[in-house]
A and B are shown apart, each in its own frame.
Chain A
């Protein structure tokens, strides 16, 4: 009897190992289920991932999710959003719960290698900063020795904070929260002297404060935070689509193609633009990428070019009013640079 059970057990084990679902082809999975499952910021980070009062998602990261859906399906509404905390985001991508993580996530070497992800595009070049109450009279982050600092747990921010104070021989008291909302509330209540996160996030959180003008963002930027979409490793087809969805938006801005003029641009005399928009007769760019021929047109129609998306979500057209800075086109001294589309 025991022998039979052991035999059965071993058999089950062998079968179990044999029967392994393949995860390495997200594009096919996405096409099969008919929508993109996109992990976004779950704590209403205005400008990146936030819901309005009607429950509609908006933000730079949300636009990227929509762009991917537009490229794959020709329909930007075929996307479902999974709001995630900083802590939940990586397991969500690892486990296959989401197809794509666009949650103001910093691209770092350990996340690229150790966590089993792939990054390529950067949809926002950010850096970590500090926000303080004006009444403290602090003018520089270097004056913060001894301060209590509110920070969100499990972020690169938390690590940079420790490194920055350490390397400047200053001490601090971390007040660590898992959810950003709780960190906001604690800072607002005076539990901390300073709040640290990516500078873009600081501007967004400042707007949530009872009186935004009482708070100021200090000039120091203490880290490099290239925020970009992440996918699971060893799935280069899917990585290609996600990266090129972003590059298409950047290229469109460079070409001067906007949501409004994309139809006219199809008849442009510029061969680069015609190729980009899928108007060249024998172009196989879309097919090679695994998406319809007019993928770029669909992206631009859905979310506009990168500049439009930027201005609408975080720039002058938004309450955040963040300057383009590092996120300007490379031709204007910024870092946004789309590889050639040919």
Chain B
């Protein structure tokens, strides 16, 4: 017994202090870090509350339920001066998201075109794209916004000119003025849901058909006419349903009111200036990223593809682009985040984004610390969600190593 005990004892590691246990240590460090962070936040918050109390101000988010009292021009959800501050912040957040989303889509498309254009063999196209990039990349975004707002949109015809134009051409339905773009608004009648349903169904069918076509191509070597069939499914089918349902769509035209156009749909110059500036500014950076990405794929890759008999379009789509995307996506994420954050420059032209609305609330209620905390929280959240999505997309595009 005693002998066995000794033997088991000798096979155990020598007894050391718990402090040197790696597992325990790593937990300990994390606990300490957490305590420091929580302590620091708690300290900062307490300090704020105390200092505010000394300045005879209260801290807290209760004010968000009070009546806002001010009006907002661009609202996507129902809002009036009787709504709460919280509702106003929601309006601002939505406006930020809209301009950011629209900006990201446009910046990506324009950036892709310009980036590819710079690599073009056509001397004029390549030079024009270079000029574009060098101009927009080197001007601060705020100036680009002012350029569009005061330099372009403000110089468009005045609303009075539009009224006169309408008297002469009563059939006109689309107007561009210095108060924005006016166009007819669609009014969806009964049965329009069926058209939307047909459209969704068409997309699903098109995806299914593509999968089947790919399988068939692999099996027989023949490629079914994917483009034409899909076009029919996505475009023709909904149009057919639309006609069968008796065209359940009417238009609400913009007509002259006392001071502005009434009815219809309008896009204000504030949104347009911000949207154009953000898109075109960020597009110049994206163009460079795209160019770098394509340049980053070694020439041997496309030469090999050509040697295998792939055509130009297939080489780009199947060989070059997938590899280029791996280089493009990480810096592209940064540009998206920059665009989202730059949208806060909206305040300069009076577009009611989160910062503009928050700034008004800050001034009306005096709750500066709370509003700034909300701003930071919202922008961090939007940015993190964007990053998460882009990281997921990046992981999907990354080289799968076996």
What's the minimum C-beta distance from B277 to chain A, rounded to whole angstroms?
A: 15
Q: Is B54 an interface residue (CB 8 A)?
A: yes
In the complex, what residue of chain A is closest to B368 when comparing beta carbons? A91
Q: Return chain A residues, CB-CB under 8 Å to B347.
A: 178
Residues of A within 8 A of B154 (CB): 185-186, 189-191
3 A-B pairs with the lowest CB-CB distances in the bound complex, closest first: A154-B363, A162-B81, A116-B56
Complex: how many Å from CA A23 to CA B260?
51
A230 to chain B, nearest CB (A): 12
B365 touches A233 (CB 8 A): no
A163's partner among B43, B69, B269 (CB-CB below 8 A) is B69
> Which listed segment binds B: A5-13, A267-275, A278-286?
A5-13
* CB atoms of A162 and B70 under 8 A apart: yes
Interface residues of A in 252-272 (CB under 8 A from B): none
Name A's B-contacting residues (CB within 8 A): 1-2, 5-6, 9-10, 12-13, 16-17, 20, 23, 86-87, 90-91, 94, 111, 114-116, 136, 144-148, 153-155, 158-159, 161-163, 165-166, 172-179, 182-183, 185-186, 189-191, 193, 232-234
CB of B240 closer than 8 Å to a CB of A: no
Beyond A20-B54, A175-B73, list 13 extra A-B contacts (CB 8 Å).
A13-B46, A16-B47, A114-B57, A147-B259, A154-B360, A162-B81, A174-B73, A175-B350, A176-B350, A178-B350, A179-B348, A186-B154, A233-B55
Main secondary structure of the interface of B (DSSP, over half): helix
In the assembled complex, B362 has its CB within 8 A of some CB on chain A:
yes
> A143: nearest residue on chain B (CB-CB)?
B258
A90-B366 CB under 8 A given contacts A158-B360, A178-B348: yes
> Which of B57, B259, B260, B360 meets A153, CB within 8 Å?
B360
Measured between beta carbons, the chain A residues less than 8 angstroms from B57 are 94, 114-116
B295 within 8 A of A: no
- Whether B303 sits at the interface, judged by CB under 8 Å, is no
B residues within 8 A CB of A232? 55
Q: A9-B39, A145-B258, A189-B154 are in contact. Are A234 and B56 (CB under 8 A)?
A: yes
Which chain B residues lie closer than 8 Å to A175 at the CB level?
A: 73, 270, 350
Residue of B nearest to A113 (CB): B56
B35 at the interface (CB under 8 A from A): yes
Closest to B352 in A: A176
What string of 1s and 0s marks CB contacts (under 8 Å) between B147-163 and chain A?
A: 00010001100110000
Do A6 and B35 have beta carbons less than 8 Å apart? yes
Q: How far is the CB of B50 from chain A (nearest CB, A)?
A: 6
**B262 interfacial contact with A, CB 8 Å:** yes
Whether B55 contacts A176 by the Cβ 8 Å rule is no
Residues from chain A with Cβ under 8 Å of B80 in the complex: 166
Instruction: State whether B360 touches A148 (Cβ < 8 A).
Output: no
| A132 → chain B closest CB, angstroms | 10
Structural contact, A13 and B39, CB atoms closer than 8 A:
yes
Whether B47 lies near A86 (C-beta < 8 A) is no
Q: Is the CB of A177 within 8 A of B350?
A: yes
Shortest Cβ distance from residue A141 to the other chain B in the assembled complex, whole angstroms: 13
Q: How far is the CA of A163 from the CA of B82 in the complex (A)?
A: 10
Query: Assuming the A-B contacts A115-B57, A176-B350, are A5 and B259 also in contact, with contact meaning beta carbons closer than 8 angstroms in the complex?
Result: no
A-B contact pairs, 24 of them (CB 8 A): A1-B32, A2-B28, A5-B35, A86-B363, A87-B363, A90-B366, A116-B366, A146-B257, A146-B262, A147-B260, A153-B356, A154-B363, A162-B81, A163-B69, A166-B80, A175-B73, A178-B348, A189-B178, A190-B159, A190-B178, A193-B260, A232-B55, A233-B55, A234-B56
Cβ of B125 < 8 Å from any Cβ of A? no
Q: Number of residues in B with C-beta < 8 Å to the partner?
A: 51
B31 at the interface (CB under 8 A from A): yes
Cross-chain contact B56 with A173 (CB below 8 angstroms): no
B158 in complex: contacting residue of A10, A154, A190, CB < 8 Å: A190
User: Does B71 reach chain A (CB closer than 8 Å)?
Assistant: yes
| Residue among A23, A153, A162, A234 making CB contact with B69, cutoff 8 Å | A162
Q: In the complex, A136 Cα to B258 Cα: how many Å?
A: 10
Q: Which of B39, B55, B352, B365 has the most CB of A within 10 A?
A: B55
Contact B179 A158 (CB under 8 A): no
Q: Is there a chain A Cβ closer than 8 Å to B330's Cβ?
A: no
Alpha-carbon distance between A173 and B46 when the two chains are bound, in angstroms: 42
Are A173 and B43 touching (Cβ within 8 A)? no
Instruction: Report if B200 contacts A (CB, 8 A).
Output: no
Q: Across the interface, which residues of A come within 8 angstroms of B270, CB to CB? A: 175
Nearest CB on B from A244, distance (A)? 22
What are the residues of chain B within 8 A of A6 when measuring CB–CB? 35, 39
Partner of A182, one of B159, B348, B360: B348
Quick one: which of B28-59 are within 8 Å of A by CB? 28, 31-32, 35-36, 39, 42-43, 46-47, 50-51, 54-57
Check A178–B356 contact: CB distance below 8 A. yes
Is B395 close to A, CB under 8 A? no
A10 contacts across to B, CB distance below 8 A: 39
CB-CB under 8 A from B155, the residues of chain A are: 189
Point out the residue from A148, A154, A177, A191 that lies within 8 Å of B362, measured CB to CB.
Answer: A154
Whole-angstrom distance between the Cβ of B186 and the nearest chain A Cβ:
22
- B150/A185 in contact, CB under 8 A: yes
* Residues in chain B near residue A233, CB distance under 8 A: 55-56
Q: Is the CB of B43 within 8 A of A12?
A: yes
B213 at the interface (CB under 8 A from A): no
Q: Which of B35, B36, B258, B366 contacts A147 (CB 8 A)?
A: B258
**Could you tell me the distance in whole angstroms from the C-beta of A18 to the nearest C-beta in chain B?**
11
- Closest Cβ of chain A: how far from B57's Cβ, in Å? 5
CA of A210 to CA of B258, assembled, Å: 25
By beta carbon, the residue of chain A nearest B146 is A182
> Is B365 touching A114 in the complex (CB atoms < 8 A)?
yes
Determine the distance from Cα of A2 to Cα of B362 in the docked complex, in whole angstroms. 40
B204 touches A (CB below 8 Å): no
Query: A176 to B360, Cβ gap below 8 A?
Result: yes
User: Is the CB of B250 closer than 8 A to any CB of chain A?
Assistant: no
Across the two chains, which residue of chain B brings its CB closest to A156?
Answer: B364
Which of A16, A111, A116, A182 interacts with B55 by CB under 8 Å? Answer: A116
Measured in the bound complex, the distance between the Cα atoms of B57 and A190 in whole Å is 41
User: Which residues of A lie under 8 Å from residue B260 when comparing CB positions?
Assistant: 146-148, 173, 193
B72 at the A/B interface (Cβ < 8 Å)?
yes
| B359 contact from A144, A153, A174, Cβ within 8 A | A153
Cβ-closest chain A residue relative to B178: A190
CB neighbours (8 Å) of A116 from chain B are 55-57, 366
B239 within 8 A of A: no
A185 to B364, CA, bound (A): 24
Interface positions, chain B 344-374, Cβ under 8 Å from A, are 347-350, 352, 356, 359-360, 362-366, 368
Measured in the bound complex, the distance between the Cα atoms of B357 and A154 in whole Å is 9
In the bound complex, residues from chain B placing their C-beta under 8 Å from that of A178 are 347-348, 350, 356, 359
